[in-house]
Structure 1
Amino acid sequence: MTTESDTVTDPVTTPVLHLVMGSNAGMAGGTDTTAIIADVDVYSLDSLNLSRVRGLIVNGNCDQIYLERRREILTDFVANGGRIAVMGHPLTDFLPDLGQWRKLQYSGPKDLAISAGSPHPVWEGVDPVDLSFRREVSGFYGRGYSQNLPDTAIVTNYIGRAGLPVDYVYRLGRGEVLVHGGIDLSVYQYDPNTSSRVFPQLLAWLAQGDGTDLR
């Protein structure tokens, strides 16, 4: 006999989940921090037991139309103390107050250069130059900016000559939302400079969320 509880997966054992599209991690660089984070198919969101989860990473390749239809799940998770890190280009309102990504018009490295904004634990000790250039190429970190940010947003990094927001954080209820408008930050974890600090610090920040029992 099937009960309602049978439709919910067992509680996950990692404090952070990385929502991806099936087995395709998209822009993710992979990670060996399996004690902290686990990849989960975004289409299983309805059946996930989030009672022990403190943070979620939304990969940049996730189906945002699907996420928008599950807006209540995501909103409740954050409002009750969880933390969500959004990678890539938010184009739908799958979270309240989520800004919109826009492509940046650029013609050279200075148009894509990253500059530091307000201090934040995720980027502590990270040189913006190391984010601006990866393998001697500019534009890996981001090629766009966010607009229509909530009034409470703190911009943690800017991009380009005009200093447009590329990374920002805002509170939502008891929790927080972090938006990185570019490639999944996990790709930097093995780089031979200060940019390798970003992903471990992101995981640490996410794991400090209060978490919530949504059952």
Structure 2
Amino acid sequence: MARYTGPSCKLCRREGEKLFLKGDRCYTDKCAFDRRPYPPGQHGQRRSKATEYGIRLREKQKVRRIYGVLERQFRKYFASADAGKGVTGEALLALLERRLDSVCYRLGFAATRSDGRQLVRHKHVLVNGKTVSIPSYLVRPNDTITIREKSRQKGRIVTALEGVERRGVPEWLSLDKGAFTGKVVSQPVREAITLPIKEQLIVEFYSR
């Protein structure tokens, strides 16, 4: 499936806030957003007044970029959330959080969601003892996510796990760090998603 392969830092600058797309680098003085906190391009430093449509569009684009999802797939997630029970915006975020690449990131097996996607694609991840190579696979309560035995010595995985305390593991997941194993305790709830997201703006964007 197609995916964005350009500079990650440009996405943060375009959205006007850190999206933490480069892992630990985002916490250092090397962060491009800290150095140039304005949109990329020759007109990036111009002041422009955002319209109501523009505000909603930027919020939608921001969430897409955080989770590494392209427009067509994002629309499908929204349609699924809208068709289900409960609050549409919260249901949308829950679907995105349940993606296997995102869960690998949340458990600390990967430093970024992009790294989580690569782990899954390269068959380093088991779900309930079976290899799953689809990053968009949606986990369910009681699912067990494990790093394959042969992959546990990989430097990127070990380094990512060392930094998991800084990010923390959400309450709907549990981690056995020594066993390279995580478990889905429950469905993700809005309070456990600490990202600076205004999901109602996304609902309004698609409902216009």
Range of TM-score over shorter length = under 0.3
Task: Please report the TM-score for the alignment, with normalisation by the length of structure 1.
Answer: 0.27
TM-score, normalised with respect to structure 2: 0.28
Name the structure with the higher strand share: 1
- Flag the structure with higher helix content: 2
